[in-house]
Amino acid sequence: MSFASLSPDSRHGSPTRIRGEFIKLAVEARTDFYTEVQQFLEARLSEIKKRTESPKARSTIFAGATGCSRSAEARRKTSRSSACPA
């Protein structure tokens, strides 16, 4: 493999050093990208946790998971023998 460059810095560098620089830059770019992705996902997870930790969200999630569509208050007012827990 041969390298040709018009740059005075690259012309004096060995192919091994040039490849090393390229690999270093590629790894840094990938690391920076993954850091940004991690920050985005952590922020998104934080938003989801905030929404799901509210009392209303928890009851909605529970209702969806159990098939209950009425609120606990509505069930208390109508019947104690409801299939959905109060």
- Evaluate whether 57 touches 51 at the Cβ level (below 8 Å): yes
Which pLDDT tens digit goes with each residue over 35-75? 999 999 999 999 988 888 877 766 666 666 666 655 555 65
CA 43/CA 48 separation, integer angstroms:
9
* Domain-wise residue ranges, the chain: 11-65
DSSP for the chain reads: -----SSHHHHTS-HHHHHHHHHHHHHHHHHHHHHHHHHHHHHHHHHHHHHHHSHHHHHHHHHHHHT--S-HHHHHHH-SS-SS--
- Whether the pTM exceeds 0.85: the reply is no
Residue type, 45: L
